[in-house]
């Protein structure tokens, strides 16, 4: 029996070997070992507090927190594994003196059936720094220009401070936190939420995921104001030097200013009045500088630079000219005279002399024959407290019909005014005519 077993032993061993090879070939043909790659696998950071608890912060370098992983296993295994099954873990407790942490690879499915699992990066590279914390004022900015006829008003944020923390080398470069709003072509107020952006001292944008902000965005309210060119009206206070008066010619350079405000406010604004220029004691034109911003109504704003808001204004002052006029008696009349009355001025001597003082141009334009003196019956009735004035003699002031402006003074003239009923006046006239005729006839007889 033993002899039979050992007969052709070599051939028998060779047959077993080939059988094994054949089995392996058959198995590998049916379920071969293959490799598959998964890209951008996120490395899971564990126990980060082992660093942060020491008042430090870490920054992952060279993008080593995302790796490519190759899994090698039988096709039947590989076909049932996806990217979501791959795990890459870096435990910060395993930090080396070279600031690297080994990455442990596995799958949450068939891990024990893998031939191998490898990655493009074996270690997570990090940079560890002290944590720096700062507080910055949020600056609001606008981009673009509002629609034609409109300007930018106030720009306000609902929060004006942002707190930052992160690596000292990064935070130390941050100098500004800006919330920017685009106002191009806008003609009404804007209210929007915008992201905060960080910049260095040279206005370079800083984007770093290691920076932690207490707020990432703010609400910004932008006021858009309507504009309008409005004339400036100048007037003076005080009294010029003796013998001088205001000419009424007041100029400003520029004559108009551009202002802004809410549409309804601007629509109602027709002029800006500057009425406190003191000319006391001045004997010639007075020129001064006015800061127009001080005279704007509430909720109206000057459009332009501070220098442009200074307006040069000149208040005209002239020497007073005096001239005597001889007014014909017939130029003195009673006004508002009732139909039942007639008026006479029995004691007037012709002519009536008056002195008028005022601006040279105004005084020289007057003529004695065109100056009318008026006695108002209506004002007489008002002073007497009656509805109708009765007959009698009244001493009244004469008002002369001359320009209201450019005249400083007119000699005051009072006259005796005789008021009579028309019938009485007519009879008096008839009697006087008869008396004059008789006198004439008597004189002729003698």
Q: pLDDT digit string (tens) for 185-218? A: 999 999 999 999 999 999 999 998 889 999 999 9
Residue 249's pLDDT is 87
> Is residue 80 classed exposed, middle or buried when 0-12, 13-18 and 19+ CB atoms within 10 A define those classes?
exposed
Give the phi and the psi of residue 387 in degrees, each rounded to 5: -80, -35
Stretch 255-268: mean pLDDT, rounded?
Answer: 93
Alpha helices in 96-231 (DSSP H): 168-171
R_g of the chain computed on alpha carbons: 54
The pLDDT of residue 160 is above 80: yes
**How far is 288 from 309, CA to CA, in rounded Å?**
13
pLDDT greater than 90 at residue 405: no
Whether 433 has a pLDDT exceeding 70, the answer reads no
Greater model confidence, 7 or 291: 291
- Give 354-383 pLDDT, tens digit per residue: 999 999 989 999 999 999 999 999 999 999
**Does 385 have pLDDT greater than 50?**
yes
Element (DSSP H or E) covering residue 323:
strand 321-327
- Please tell me whether the overall predicted TM-score, pTM, comes out greater than 0.95 for this model: no
- What pLDDT, on the 0 to 100 scale, is given for residue 28? 55
Cβ neighbours for 189, distance < 8 A, ≥ 6 positions apart: 221, 222, 223, 224
Provide the pLDDT for residue 30: 67
Q: What's the pLDDT tens digit per position in 11-30?
A: 656 666 666 565 555 445 56
pLDDT on residue 9: 62
Judge whether residue 443 has pLDDT over 50. no
Q: Which of 187, 191, 158 is nearest to 262 (CA)?
A: 187
Asked if residues 175 and 199 have their Cβ atoms less than 8 Å apart, the reply is: yes
pLDDT at 403: 87
Q: Which of 24-28, 77-81, 250-254, 275-279 has the lowest mean pLDDT?
A: 24-28
319-357 pLDDT tens trace: 999 999 999 999 999 999 999 999 999 988 889 999 999
Q: Which residue has the tokens 């006021």?
A: 223
Whether the CB-CB separation of 236 and 279 falls below 8 Å is answered with yes
> Residue 380: which H helix or E strand, with range?
helix 377-384
Report pLDDT for 428.
53
Asked if pLDDT for residue 432 goes beyond 80, the answer is no
Q: 446: pLDDT confidence band, cut at 50, 70 and 90?
A: very low
**pLDDT reported for residue 16:** 65
What is the residue-averaged pLDDT of the chain?
88
- The DSSP H or E segment spanning 263 is helix 263-268
Sketch out the chain's domains with CATH numbers: 30-121 (2.170.120.30), 131-225 (2.170.120.40), 227-319 (2.170.120.40), 321-429 (2.170.120.30)
Mean pLDDT of 118-146: 93
- Give, as one character, the DSSP assignment of residue 296: P
User: Which helix (H) or strand (E) element contains residue 417?
Assistant: strand 414-421
User: Could you report the per-residue pLDDT of 76-123, keeping only the tens digit for each?
Assistant: 999 999 999 999 999 999 999 899 999 999 999 999 999 999 999 999
Res 386 pLDDT > 50: yes
């Amino acid at each position: 029996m033993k002899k039979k077993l050992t007969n052709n032993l070599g051939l028998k061993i060779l047959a077993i070997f080939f059988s094994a090879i054949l089995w392996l070939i058959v198995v590998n043909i049916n379920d071969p070992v293959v490799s598959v790659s998964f890209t951008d696998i996120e490395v899971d950071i564990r126990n980060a507090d082992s660093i942060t608890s020491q008042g430090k912060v870490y920054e992952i370098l060279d993008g080593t927190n995302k790796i490519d992983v190759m899994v090698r296993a039988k096709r039947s295994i590989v076909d049932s594994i996806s990217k979501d099954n791959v795990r890459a873990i870096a435990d910060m407790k395993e930090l080396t003196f070279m600031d690297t942490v080994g990455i442990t690879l596995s799958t949450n499915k068939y891990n024990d059936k893998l031939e191998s699992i490898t990655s493009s990066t074996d270690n997570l590279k990090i940079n560890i720094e002290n944590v720096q914390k700062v507080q910055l004022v949020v600056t609001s900015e606008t981009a673009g220009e509002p629609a034609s006829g409109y300007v930018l008003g106030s720009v306000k944020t609902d929060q004006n401070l942002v707190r930052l923390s992160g690596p000292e080398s990064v935070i130390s470069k941050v100098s500004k936190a800006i919330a920017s709003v685009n106002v191009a072509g806008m003609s009404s107020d804007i209210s929007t939420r915008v992201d905060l952006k960080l910049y260095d001292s040279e206005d370079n944008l800083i984007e770093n995921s290691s920076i932690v902000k207490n707020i990432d965005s703010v609400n910004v309210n932008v006021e858009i104001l309507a504009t309008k060119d409005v004339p400036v009206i100048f007037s003076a206070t005080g009294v010029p030097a003796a013998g001088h008066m205001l000419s009424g010619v007041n100029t400003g350079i520029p004559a108009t200013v551009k202002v802004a405000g809410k549409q309804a406010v601007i629509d109602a604004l027709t002029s800006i009045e500057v009425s406190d220029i003191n000319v006391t004691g001045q004997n010639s034109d007075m020129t001064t500088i006015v800061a127009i911003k001080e005279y704007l109504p509430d909720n109206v704003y000057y459009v332009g630079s501070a220098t442009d808001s200074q307006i040069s204004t000149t208040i005209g002052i002239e020497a007073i000219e005096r001239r005597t006029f001889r007014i014909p008696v017939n130029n003195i009349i009673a006004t508002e005279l009732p139909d039942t009355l007639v008026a006479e001025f029995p004691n007037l001597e012709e002519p009536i002399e008056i002195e008028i003082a005022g601006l040279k141009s105004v005084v020289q334009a007057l003529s004695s024959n065109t100056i009318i003196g008026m006695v108002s019956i209506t004002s007489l009735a008002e002073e007497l407290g009656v509805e109708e004035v009765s007959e009698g003699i009244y001493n009244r002031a004469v008002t002369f019909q001359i320009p209201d402006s450019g005249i400083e003074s007119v000699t005051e003239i009072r006259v005796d005014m005789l008021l009579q009923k028309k019938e009485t006046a007519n009879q008096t006239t008839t009697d006087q005519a008869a008396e004059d005729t008789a006198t004439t006839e008597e004189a002729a007889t003698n």
